[in-house]
């Protein structure tokens, strides 16, 4: 190459930095040529360069040219809103002769796109803190370090956020060579800077003639809101010398729109159970009237005592951790209701939160696996509803494979009808029965199903594993007592269902509660007291408030002297004699007693005794002078003239 020269033409906004210019000889180990080896001329639009002798006379080396420019986006930014299209252009053209004197020309073109903060002369970012539910917005301006004139930052607050009063701060910043910035001093209260907190926006006026970069940082809060948006956007406008740039950022709140999620696995500590966990309100929305309805598949069984609600801790990134030290109180913080279709085994679990919630909770429970298949799947469908100006509803469903080591490939199912009757085969409603599995020691192991007998005395249980169980009664029908065998557990067998004959009946009998009053009369025979059963004494039964118990206003002792009272419910009572047997004195003193169950729930019979005494009179026979007379003979007759006793002789 002989007589080589190059002209570099730069677009508006670029300024050539002359002392940064270098020509590097790649064939001589990247040697930088001396300024005497070439001629460099700075032009209005760039520069021109050519080799001096001896390189001018010809060279076959490879060279690289390096230089720097300053850029000013304001020179090509007209405020039209097309900042993203800002580019700086560079054209290079070189000429030379070959060794035969031939002319050659070569050109090249390159567009350079500044980093976005320099295109827009600013940038915006946001960061969500899930612990505080606050978004920190950062607006960095004047990356191009232009001279400011009537410069301002205006940032509207969208309706889905609340500005945190007093949070706005303004800082100086240093723009780094890699396009980042370093935060400097807090200049919020510095002269020339004015922060105005409006109802719906933040405005910052920046000082005229400054060429510094400035950063606005402020906070908005999602507390009290429904946190269900895919993203929260915020656009600030930076204006300088009538040129405005919109700086937009968006933030995604951790777990936005997550109101219920669920997970489950077969328990590692007891493979008869599946452990379920529902995460409620992971979004930390503010909700009232929150209700979670859970529908486990019919091959599992849940009891209310196994449902527990825990609080959580949430870090700034939104990671949720169960807090075992925060246990909500059932009946105070929430209620649990479980309804069971005992024929199919299907259950509905309803958890109602009794107060407004604004954070996440975890509902945990374990479900007994009731399938008789070796390999099966248990499923769970959860639904949540709640209110925050609008009603939210979400559903989630989870399947968990389980293994039953005692099952079979196809599995078998059985059913049974427990029919509750009294001694006369009367059907008894409202007895509470429980069906338990049996452990190796023959004791009750796990609660399989429970329920109350209906008006026909029946409790139908279906979708059961075939085999032996213990039937336990925990509550007898009103007026009846528990049977001791049923308290401890009566062994029953559930047979496999047939094609037509299902729910075979097994009778379960209860005895009525019983109070027996023995009515006796006291007589003297041969100088000794003798008790005799008295028939015909009449009584009334009073409750603990002194009112006559309906149906028990007239009770009469039988030929054995017994007054038998059955089917009383537990409580305090008293028997009052209203009529004595003939020849006996009426004793209206109340006979108090209490009918109550023991620790096992059994109500024992109550046995009472009431003694009546015969009436007596003393007759003294005397003469006209008042002296006692012996040997007088008398007889006693009643008011109708009937002789009661004869040959009574005065002593």
CATH of residue 566's domain is: 2.60.40.10
pLDDT at 643: 62
Of 17-21, 206-210, 387-391, 631-635, the one with minimum mean pLDDT is 631-635
Specify whether 528 is located in the same domain as 481.
no
Residues 6+ apart with CB under 8 A from 190: 207
Which residues, listed in sequence order, are joined to residue 566 by a DSSP beta bridge?
514
Q: Is residue 501 part of a domain?
A: yes
Residue 408 resides in a domain: no
Tell me whether residue 93 is in a domain: yes
Q: Does residue 408 surpass a pLDDT of 80?
A: no
Q: Is the confidence at residue 616, as pLDDT, over 80?
A: no
Q: What is the pLDDT of residues 81-120, one digit of tens each?
A: 777 788 999 999 999 999 999 999 999 999 999 999 998 9
529 and 494 share a domain?
no
What is the pTM assigned to this prediction? Answer: 0.77
Kindly state the percentage of the chain with pLDDT values over 90: 80
At 44, which CATH number? 2.60.40.740
Distance from C-alpha of 398 to C-alpha of 294, rounded to nearest angstrom: 11
146 three-state secondary structure: coil
Average pLDDT on 122-145 reads 96
Mean pLDDT lowest among 324-333, 500-509, 614-623: 614-623
Taking residues 205-227, report their average pLDDT: 96
Collapsed DSSP state (helix, strand, coil) of residue 113: coil
Asked if 451 and 536 sit in the same domain, the reply is: no
Q: Are residues 232 and 127 part of one domain?
A: yes
CA distance 507 to 417: 8
- Residue holding tokens 């958890």? 351
Task: Tell me whether residue 546 is in a domain.
Answer: yes
Pair 277, 392 in one domain: yes
- Does residue 192 lie within any of the structural domains? yes
Tell me which of 511, 529, 553 is where a domain ends.
511
Torsion angle in degrees (nearest 10) through CA of 459, 464, 469, 474:
-30
Strand 414-421 and strand 505-509: pairing? Answer: parallel
Which residues form the domain of 153?
A: 117-251
Q: What is the dihedral of CA 218, 223, 229, 235, to 10 degrees?
A: -20
Q: What is the pLDDT of residue 499?
A: 67
What is the H or E stretch that residue 117 is in? helix 116-119
Q: Is the pLDDT of residue 638 over 60?
A: no
Note the residue count of the chain.
Answer: 651
How many helices (H) and strands (E) in the chain? 2, 49
353, part of any domain: yes
Same domain, 246 and 271: no
**162-171, 518-527, 602-611, 636-645: which range is least confident on average?**
636-645
pLDDT at 344: 93
DSSP single-letter state for residue 26? G
Pair (280, 349) in one structural domain: yes
Q: Which of 371, 403, 435 is the C-terminal boundary of a domain? A: 403
- Look at residue 300 and tell me whether its pLDDT is greater than 60: yes
Helix (H, G, I), strand (E, B) or coil at 538: strand
Alpha carbons 76 and 89: distance in angstroms, whole number: 11
Same-domain status, 434 and 381: no
Query: How many domains does the chain fold into?
Result: 6
Position 246 in a domain: yes
Among residues 360, 383, 403, the one where a domain terminates is 403
Contact by Cβ (8 Å): 14, 43: no
The mean pLDDT value of the chain amounts to 92
Residues 266-283: what's their mean pLDDT? 95
pLDDT at residue 56 in the model: 96
Average pLDDT for 587-596: 95
Q: Does residue 88 share a domain with residue 18?
A: yes
Residue 317 CB contacts under 8 Å (≥ 6 apart), including other chains: 130, 254
DSSP type of residue 329: P
Q: Which two tokens stand for residue 236?
A: 């600030």
Whether residue 628 has pLDDT greater than 90: no
Region of 58 (left: φ > 0; alpha: ψ -120 to 50; beta: rest) is: left
CB neighbours of residue 126 within 10 Å:
18
CB 495, CB 415: distance < 8 Å: no
Is residue 409 one of the residues assigned to a domain? Answer: no
Same domain, 289 and 366: yes
54 & 78 share domain: yes
Report the percent of the chain where pLDDT is more than 70.
95
Measure the CA–CA gap between 369 and 486, rounded to whole angstroms: 25
* Pair 398, 264 in one domain: yes
The pLDDT assigned to 625 comes to 72
Confidence of residue 583 (pLDDT cuts 50, 70, 90): confident
**Spacing of C-alpha 525 from chain mean position:** 80
């Amino acid at each position: 190459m002989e007589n080589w020269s190059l002209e570099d033409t730069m677009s508006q906004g670029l300024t050539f930095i002359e002392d940064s210019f270098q020509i590097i000889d790649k064939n001589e180990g990247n040697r930088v040529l001396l300024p005497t080896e070439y001629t460099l001329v700075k032009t209005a639009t760039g520069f021109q360069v050519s080799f001096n002798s001896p390189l001018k006379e010809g060279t076959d080396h490879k060279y690289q040219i390096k230089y720097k420019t300053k850029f000013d986006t304001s020179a090509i930014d007209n405020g039209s809103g097309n900042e993203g299209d800002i580019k700086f252009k560079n054209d290079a053209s070189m000429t030379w002769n070959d060794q035969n004197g031939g002319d050659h020309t070569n050109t090249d073109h390159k567009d350079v796109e500044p980093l976005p903060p320099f295109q827009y002369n600013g940038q915006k970012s946001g960061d969500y803190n899930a612990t505080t539910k606050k978004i920190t917005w950062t607006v960095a301006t004047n990356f191009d370090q232009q001279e400011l004139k009537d410069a301002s930052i205006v940032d509207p607050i969208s309706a889905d956020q609340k500005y945190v009063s007093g949070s706005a701060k303004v800082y100086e910043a240093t723009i780094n060579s890699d396009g980042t910035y370093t935060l400097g001093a807090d200049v919020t209260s510095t002269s020339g800077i004015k922060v105005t907190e409006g109802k719906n926006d933040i405005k910052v006026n920046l000082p005229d003639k400054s060429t510094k970069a400035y950063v606005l940082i402020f906070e908005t809060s999602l507390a009290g809101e429904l946190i269900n948006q895919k993203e929260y956007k915020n656009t600030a406008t930076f204006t300088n010398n009538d040129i405005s740039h919109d700086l937009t950022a968006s933030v995604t709140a951790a777990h936005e729109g997550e109101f219920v999620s669920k997970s489950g696995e077969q328990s590692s500590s007891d493979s008869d159970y599946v452990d379920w966990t529902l995460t409620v309100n992971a979004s930390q929305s503010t909700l009232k009237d929150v209700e979670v309805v859970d529908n486990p598949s019919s091959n599992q069984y849940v009891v209310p005592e196994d449902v527990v609600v825990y609080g959580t801790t949430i870090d700034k990134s939104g990671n949720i951790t169960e807090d075992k030290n925060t246990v909500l109180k059932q009946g105070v913080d929430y209620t649990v209701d479980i309804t069971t279709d005992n024929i199919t085994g299907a259950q509905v679990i309803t958890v109602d939160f009794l107060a407004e919630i604004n954070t996440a909770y975890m509902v945990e429970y374990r479900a007994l696996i009731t399938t008789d298949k070796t390999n099966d799947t248990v499923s769970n469908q959860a639904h949540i509803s709640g209110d925050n100006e609008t009603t939210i509803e979400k559903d989630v469903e989870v399947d968990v494979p389980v293994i039953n080591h005692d099952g079979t490939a196809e599995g078998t199912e059985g059913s049974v009808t427990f029919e509750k009757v009294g001694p006369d085969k009367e059907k008894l409603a409202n007895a509470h029965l429980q069906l338990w599995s049996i452990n190796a020691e023959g004791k009750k192991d796990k609660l399989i199903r429970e329920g109350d007998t209906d008006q026909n005395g029946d409790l139908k249980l279906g979708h059961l594993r075939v085999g032996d169980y213990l039937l336990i009664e925990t509550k007898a029908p009103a007026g009846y007592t528990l049977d001791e065998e049923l308290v401890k557990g009566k062994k029953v067998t559930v047979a496999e269902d047939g094609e037509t004959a299902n729910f075979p009946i097994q009778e379960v009998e209860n005895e009525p509660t019983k109070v027996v009053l023995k009515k006796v009369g006291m007589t003297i025979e041969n100088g000794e007291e003798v008790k005799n059963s008295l028939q015909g004494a009449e009584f009334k039964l009073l409750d603990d408030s002194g009112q006559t118990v309906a149906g028990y206003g007239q009770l009469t002792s039988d030929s054995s002297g017994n007054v038998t009272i059955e089917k009383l419910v537990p409580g305090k009572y008293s028997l009052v004699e209203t009529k004595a047997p003939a020849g006996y004195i009426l004793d209206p003193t109340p006979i108090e007693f209490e009918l109550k169950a023991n620790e096992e729930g059994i109500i024992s019979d109550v046995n009472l005794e009431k003694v009546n005494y015969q009436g007596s009179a003393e007759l003294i026979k005397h003469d006209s002078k008042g002296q006692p007379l012996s040997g007088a003979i008398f007889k006693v007759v009643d008011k109708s003239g009937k002789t009661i006793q004869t040959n009574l002789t005065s002593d």
